[in-house]
Amino acid sequence: MHIFVAADHDTDFTDGWESDVVAAAWLEAAPHCVVSAMPMAAHAGAARPVWSRNSTSVGGFDGTALVQVGGGEGAAATAAADIAVALEAKMGRIVVSLPRYGTLDAGASFLAALAAACAPEPDPKDVPGESSEINPEEYVRNAREVSAAIAATDLVITYDESMPLLGMHGMSGTAALLGDVDPSAAQDREKDVSGLFHALIKILDDPHAPSASHAGMGLGLSAPSRGVLPSSATDIKDLSRHDAAGSAGGIGFALLLAGARALPLSQAFGAQFGVHDRVTEADVVVVYQDELDSRTFPTSTAGLIAPIALRVGVPCIVITRDRMMSTRELAAQGIASSYQLEDAHELGSLAARLAKSWSPAR
């Protein structure tokens, strides 16, 4: 039997790579099996180590660069400089991993930094710092410059949690709910970004402004138009409601506006490293992830793999520490069974027990 293991990696896990732990325990309990394993990233913080590991063991650079947007002061400028380097190297695809949270400025400081870094003769002195002020005209100007700079590249932004730009569940509301910012400060930022949003509609509705194609831009289409921005209120509203728009304090919205496409982190990694083929070749698929939650399921590793397994008729089992979905919900998603783990350090022993049940020797 061929067992394929896909396990989310937690950088705080002290026993190595979770995928390796499950694979080794399964193979020891069922040595007649062929076991292959792949680490996955549930959160942006694990994106770089997982990318590096898979690129080394599986392959998958293929003219693709990963840029991880970090947190803290100067993160926007650092990421912008990394993207500019990848563009200069003529990378065919640049994957930009966005964290859930960041400076609540709709990506204004990031756009300014990226536009400056992509200038024909960039000057480090011209890279602006983070500011509480958002100038709509400058925002659009920077977005147009970035759009032109990425025209020949497939720029893909990844997100690990669905978050629109505005509203109760948008970037400011979520930051306040989680205690990252004071509620009154979050409300002020919501007003500022809402003002930017309405100003963008007026600016881009200007008949003298460059217009986008009727198909729109940045909505994950196979061949979006580049070098122009969305031209209607409907386009802008669609972008602001996109699941990636509120990521990293609105950097997601800024890059969508400039013409990037967006994928959940798990889907981007799955496409890059051939998860579909790995599932198709397996007899049983084992997924390990921390939570099984209907809200986050669509962007999770299980949410990526289970539907593939269902289509090709491969049993998919999930090991999780926190299950918040019913058996019926899981079955509808293509998960044959799920098993709860109380302690991550017991992952290997649970995997060994499952091996005896799911891959008995014949």
The answer, yes or no, to whether residue 126 has pLDDT greater than 60, is no
Residues 137 and 186 in one domain: yes
DSSP string, 91-109: -SEEEEEPPS---SSTTHH
Give the pLDDT of residue 74.
Answer: 82
**Residue 56 falls within a domain, yes or no?**
no
Say if 273 falls within a structural domain: no
- In terms of domains, do 170 and 145 share one? yes
Q: Give residue 208's pLDDT band: very low, low, confident or very high (50, 70, 90).
A: low
> With contact defined as beta carbons under 8 Å apart, do 212 and 231 qualify?
yes
Give pLDDT tens digits for 333-351.
999 999 999 888 899 999 9
Q: What is the pLDDT of residues 284-317, one digit of tens each?
A: 999 999 999 998 899 999 999 999 999 999 999 9
Q: Answer with the one of 267, 291, 315 that is the final residue of a domain.
A: 267
236 versus 155: the higher-pLDDT residue is 155
**Residue 123, exposed/middle/buried by CB under 10 A (0-12, 13-18, 19+)?**
exposed
Q: How high is the pLDDT of residue 220?
A: 33
26 and 170, same domain (yes or no): no
Residue 274 domain-assigned? Answer: no
The domain boundary residue, chosen from 243, 267, 291: 267
Is residue 81 situated within a structural domain?
yes
Instruction: Give the pairing of strands 261-264 and 2-8.
Output: unpaired
| Domain stop point among 267, 296, 322 | 267
- Residue 72 within any structural domain of the chain: yes
**Coil, strand or helix: which one is 38?**
strand
Is residue 207 located within the same domain as residue 289?
A: no
User: Is 214 a residue whose pLDDT tops 50?
Assistant: no
Residue 218 confidence class, pLDDT cut points 50, 70, 90: very low
Answer yes or no: do 17 and 96 share one domain. no
Name the one residue in this structure whose structure tokens are 């198709």. Answer: 280
- Where is 301: in which H helix or E strand? helix 301-312
As a whole-number percent, the residues of the chain with pLDDT over 90 amount to: 65
pLDDT in tens, 51-84: 999 987 655 557 899 999 987 778 888 999 999 9
Co-location of 82 and 203 in the same domain = yes
pLDDT at 215 over 60: no
Domain membership flag for residue 54: no
Residues 6+ apart with CB under 8 A from 303: 264, 266, 296, 297, 333
More confident residue, 113 or 214: 113
Same domain, 256 and 290: no
The highest-confidence range among 70-74, 206-210, 242-246, by mean pLDDT, is 242-246
pLDDT confidence bin for 257, thresholds 50/70/90 = very high
Same domain (yes/no): 25, 78: no
Confidence (pLDDT) at 23 = 97
pLDDT of residue 15: 86
CB half-sphere exposure, 249, CA atoms < 13 A: 23
CATH number, residue 313: 3.40.50.360
| Coil/strand/helix, residue 54 | helix
Does one domain contain both 253 and 163?
Answer: yes
Residue 48: predicted pLDDT: 93
CATH at residue 176: 3.90.1510
141 and 84 housed in the same domain: yes
Residue 124 burial by Cβ neighbours in a 10 Å radius (0-12, 13-18, 19+):
exposed
The answer to the question of residue 41 being in a domain is yes
**140, part of any domain:** yes
Domain that includes residue 94, residue range: 61-267
Whether 218 and 288 map to the same domain: the answer is no
How many structural domains does the chain have? 2
111 shares its domain with 164: yes
